[in-house]
Structure 1
């Protein structure tokens, strides 16, 4: 299918996300999103025409015109999000209000034909005509504008024009982006964005990523590769990163780096669940390791937060369960480096998180409507 140029237009998506939690009238929507009444009226009229919203009976309270609440018709359209992992795919079908219809998991081999595997995963889902578009969330340097995977060490791909190839196989629009930025879009629509216009999303797991929201827009940079926080240099001559360089933040904080350091210190831990269990038991050395790692992470985050003047951050990713043990070290340095402080929320996380982000990405890019 011919693809629209990547164009993020969040207004309709934000209206759907905001009114999806409870019916709101146009004035309430305008006040929360900082939009003019005419803009809200134009967008809600279009959403009603599409069948995505409907008017409820007017509410009369005092003098003046009655307020007309608007309700999201959540099942009027769905989006499909896929998270691409080095050994599996996770798919989530999402309603217009951000709720999940269903999820699935399939094996995946990046060394085999990725287009055929991805198309085969999507095609049965697209038999439901309510699924209007597909979003893909991938690790690495992703150019969402060109639809190219510029570099993904974990998948072993370089300069792969994934979107054009996949779009030729599917009958609906397709978008791709870095997995952390995709999840940052979900956080803007359905999470921290309901309270903050500017915030960070810190993703910790098999890598370290950062999503940046400024003025209610996800920052991607001119070539779409902003947010590679894990490759910020921390120390010359430090551990080797998966990118091949030494001393990247990833090489200190990512789960493979923590496991390697635990082994180097003679601690019997190779997986994040082991670290959580041993930290909870206060096994010798584990809490010290995690506090030191948290301090490294805190110094790096403090620099970004100070430069961008953001005051909120959400922690996501497979290693979010380590946060109680990373936090003491993190706060020991970040609280001294950030004024007047950073409001931190930790989101429950599982393997479907980035897939839900990919589904949100499609909703935010106006390819559904």
Structure 2
């Protein structure tokens, strides 16, 4: 278990862990060659990682004359991370091993009222975490102030001004918490599954009924403070009547991307996924929603100028809708960007928010710049 007084892993140890996760078991000499570190340096770091339980040794392998080399690999059987996700009306939690594989099932508890949210999260964390928990990842919708240990604004807490995370930290005991919003947690998973050594700037956009969020990765590093294209694309407002958003505004893109907005336009009252599955270009209400979404997305892309836009949504299963939306976005991009920006689809519908929160914890282990999400222990 990572003590609250123990610093985050040094950069070179993170590098060794990434190489082993990517390539599998390697000897210390092979790590020296891959990591371009001195043999003695590799030996010292591997010894520390073995002591912490992050690595384990495998049986020695004979490789010609001389002493057999002992491969080391990520230890997936001793320690794990826990992901806890705060969502509107529920809290999820699960365990992942150090390579991101689910251990057991996803645990979920309902939240009767928003004021109970943090208490429910405490109860679930106490149930899932144990002495083998190395790090806890906590995600929530909305704004998180890690310095003040507070959730400032969240759809899970629509009637609350702020929610303190101090009691969650107390339940975690000596374990550290990596805390961020749900889009950064999702971006942490995408980064580790798709680009282990990223060189691109990427905007991830999450679309679901009544939900729209985004995250910006700059060469694999999260842009923690970016507002435009960073993580609050859903609260970009357009001059159109919608239901009032929990943030207090009317016209938020998160409210446009909803079945309620289609009802306002005169469409049949159905889940948005059902409308998307039936879309063939002939529904004026859907065309209006796509037009407005494309305006907001194109403004984000024109401002950020990413190499890639990743649409994370169950909607991407349906080509007519996806192709129409992406075509409308491209038509509004600056000419120099229209052919330069790649669009990638990632259907995360089957994966839980709690699992993504676990990937946030893994990112804080493997990537030093993601360790900024780890809350510092309270003084005294």
CA distance in 1, matches of 2:226, 2:264: 41
* d(CA) in 2 for partners of 1:7, 1:221: 21
Matching residue of 1:327: 326
Moved more, 180-189 or 15-24: 15-24
Q: 1:22–1:71: 8 Å Cα contact kept in structure 2?
A: no
Matched, 1:177 2:185: no
Deviation at 1:190, TM superposition (A): 2.6
Match of 2:134 among 132, 135, 160: 132
Q: TM-score, normalised by structure 2?
A: 0.76
Q: Is the 8 A contact 2:89 2:156 kept in 1?
A: no
Q: Does structure 2 retain, via aligned residues, the 8 Å contact 1:86–1:110?
A: no
Q: What TM-score results when the alignment is normalised by the length of structure 1? A: 0.78
- Identify the match of residue 89 of structure 1 among 71, 88, 91: 91
Counterpart check, 1:298 vs 2:301: no
For 2:178, what is the secondary structure of its paired residue?
strand
Distance 2:143 2:186 in 1: 15
Alignment partner of 1:250 out of 233, 249, 254 = 254
**Are 1:316 and 2:331 counterparts?**
no
After superposition, the Cα gap between the structure-2 partners of 1:89 and 1:67, relative to the gap in structure 1 and judged at 3 Å, is: same
The alpha carbon displacement at 1:124 in A equals: 2.2
C-alpha distance in 2 between matches for 1:203 and 1:314: 8
Q: How many residues align?
A: 352
Alignment of 1:1-369 (within 5 A): 12=13, 15-16=16-17, 19-23=20-24, 25=26, 36-38=36-38, 43-55=45-57, 57=60, 70-102=72-104, 103-126=106-129, 128-156=130-158, 157-162=160-165, 164-171=166-173, 172-205=175-208, 206-221=210-225, 227-233=231-237, 235-236=238-239, 239=242, 240-252=244-256, 254=257, 256=258, 259-279=259-279, 284-285=283-284, 288-289=287-288, 291-306=290-305, 310-317=306-313, 319-321=315-317, 323-334=322-333, 336=335, 338=337, 341-350=340-349, 352-366=351-365
Deviates more, 1:88-97 or 1:318-327: 318-327
Deviation sequence 1:198-220 (CA, Å, 0-9, x none): 32222223332221222432121
Query: How far 1:141 moved relative to its partner?
Result: 0.8
RMSD: 3.9
Say if 2:76 and 2:99, in contact at 8 Å, map to a contact too.
yes
Unaligned stretches of 5+ in structure 2?
A: 366-373, 375-380
Residue number in structure 1 paired with 2:369: none
